């Protein structure tokens, strides 16, 4: 769906399509343990978050050079533009690359080759959000923040991702304090598989401004009331939730109930190469499966710009919001 929108929950490594994975493997003289793209696609049946993460980390081994990261980001931006994305705040996972001997400079400079030209090439403004892997140690996160210091002119904020359960936000208190001290924006995945308490911790201990996923807030009415009162944005990813079995089927996704409760929900794609669709596809899927009407879809698009980190450019935000209001839905 080409309704103008911002994408706020997108892991760039999760946009690695099988075709590009094989092309980069060939370019780098690296053998993937799959015969071809068909065989690889057959591995895309996930039980839960961890079973997805295993493949996600395995496949990103094909990303070696600056040009690999530039090609990855360019491929995403082209697809996003075709689905109405005007602004993208893009996650990347440096620890997964540093561990393979790929430097922070290779990752950031490579991504920036594409992001620096995104406005002219794709009509999309961008920001980068560096995520810490929560199943790695707090010390490793702090070392990663240290390694990012030369690149902070290109990094807008920090996030927290990977295996959630057993890795509560409090583990990263010091690194988030340090990030805040460096002027970085803060977000965190919470309440995807983890309990509602992780959402509260992310807000109170890490000082995050948005919650990534936040699905499980619905188990705690007081938390819902707080999120509504404080206008905390939630970056929901409906197709991801189905593929990772956070919900059984899309028709049972709590998005309509969340909107009815007054939560500031946004719709995003998470890892679109793995979960069956980019952000416009997620909009289309919730429209179909949940019967969301045009005003609800417009609200989701409006929310995406309200929740975006565009404070440095309110004129741009106003322009994007005006586009949302002017959009005419086709049959
Ligand atoms: N949905 C997700 N949850 C946690 N970590 C991730 N890394 C990439 N996608 C993720
Ligand atoms: Zn995610």
- Give the C-alpha distances (Å, rounded to integers) separating 73 from 60, 66, 77, 122: 13, 11, 6, 11
In CATH, which of 3.65.10.10, 3.30.365.10, 3.20.20.140, 3.60.40.10 is domain 5-322? 3.20.20.140
Burial annotation 267-300 (CB, 10 A radius, 16+ → b, else e) = bbbbbbbbbebbbbbbbbbbbebbebeeebbbbb
Q: What is the pTM of this model?
A: 0.98
Asked whether the predicted pLDDT for residue 5 surpasses 80, the reply is yes
Q: Which DSSP string corresponds to 219-234?
A: G-HHHHHHHHHTT-EE
Cα of 301 from ligand 2 centre, angstroms? 19
* Tokens at 20, concatenated: 């590009």
pLDDT single digits (tens) 166-185: 999 999 999 999 999 999 99
Pairwise CA distance, residues 124 & 81, whole Å: 7
- Give the C-alpha distances (Å, rounded to integers) separating 225 from 93, 221, 237: 32, 6, 21
For residue 268, the ligand closest to its alpha carbon is 2
Task: Using the structure block, give the residue that is written with the tokens 């919900």.
Answer: 247
Q: Is 192 a catalytic residue?
A: yes
Q: Is 49 in the pocket of ligand 1 (CB under 6 A)?
A: yes
Q: Is 214 in the pocket of ligand 1 (CB under 6 A)?
A: no
Residue 248, C-beta contacts closer than 8 angstroms, at least 6 positions apart: 242
Instruction: Please identify which of the residues 13, 136, 192, 193 carries the catalytic annotation.
Output: 192
pLDDT single digits (tens) 75-123: 999 999 999 999 999 999 999 999 999 999 999 999 999 999 999 999 9
Cα of 319 from ligand 1 centre, angstroms? 31
pLDDT single digits (tens) 287-302: 999 999 999 999 999 9
- DSSP-based three-state secondary structure for 61: helix
Name the residue with the closest Cα to ligand 1, atom 6.
Answer: 162
pLDDT single digits (tens) 124-139: 999 999 999 999 999 9
């Amino acid at each position: 769906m080409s309704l103008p929108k911002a994408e706020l929950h997108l892991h760039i490594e999760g946009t690695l399509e099988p075709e590009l994975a094989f092309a980069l493997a060939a370019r780098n003289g690296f053998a993937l343990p799959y015969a071809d793209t068909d065989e690889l696609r057959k591995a895309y049946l996930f039980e839960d978050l961890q079973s997805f993460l295993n493949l996600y980390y395995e496949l990103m081994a094909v990303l070696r050079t600056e040009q690999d990261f530039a090609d990855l980001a360019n491929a995403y931006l082209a697809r996003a533009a075709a689905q109405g994305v005007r602004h993208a705040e893009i996650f990347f996972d440096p620890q997964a690359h540093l561990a393979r001997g790929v430097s922070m400079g290779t990752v950031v400079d490579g991504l920036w080759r594409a992001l620096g030209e995104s406005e002219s090439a794709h009509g999309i403004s961008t920001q980068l959000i560096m995520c810490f892997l929560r199943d790695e140690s707090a010390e490793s996160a702090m070392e990663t923040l240290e390694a990012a210091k030369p690149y902070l002119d290109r990094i807008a904020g920090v996030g927290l991702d990977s295996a959630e359960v057993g890795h509560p936000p409090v583990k990263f208190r010091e690194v988030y304090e340090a990030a805040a001290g460096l002027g970085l924006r803060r977000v965190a995945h919470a309440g995807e598989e983890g309990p509602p308490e992780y959402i509260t911790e992310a807000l109170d201990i890490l000082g995050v401004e948005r919650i990534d996923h936040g699905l499980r807030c619905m188990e705690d009415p007081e938390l819902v009331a707080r999120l509504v009162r404080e206008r905390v944005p939630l970056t929901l990813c409906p197709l991801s939730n189905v593929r990772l079995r956070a919900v059984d089927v899309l028709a049972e996704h709590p998005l309509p109930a969340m909107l009815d409760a007054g939560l500031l929900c946004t719709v995003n794609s998470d890892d679109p190469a793995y979960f069956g669709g980019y952000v416009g596809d997620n909009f289309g899927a919730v429209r179909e499966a949940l019967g969301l009407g045009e005003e609800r879809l417009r609200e989701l698009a409006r929310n995406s710009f309200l929740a975006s980190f565009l404070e440095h450019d309110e004129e741009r935000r106003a322009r994007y919001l005006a586009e949302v209001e002017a959009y005419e839905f086709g049959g």
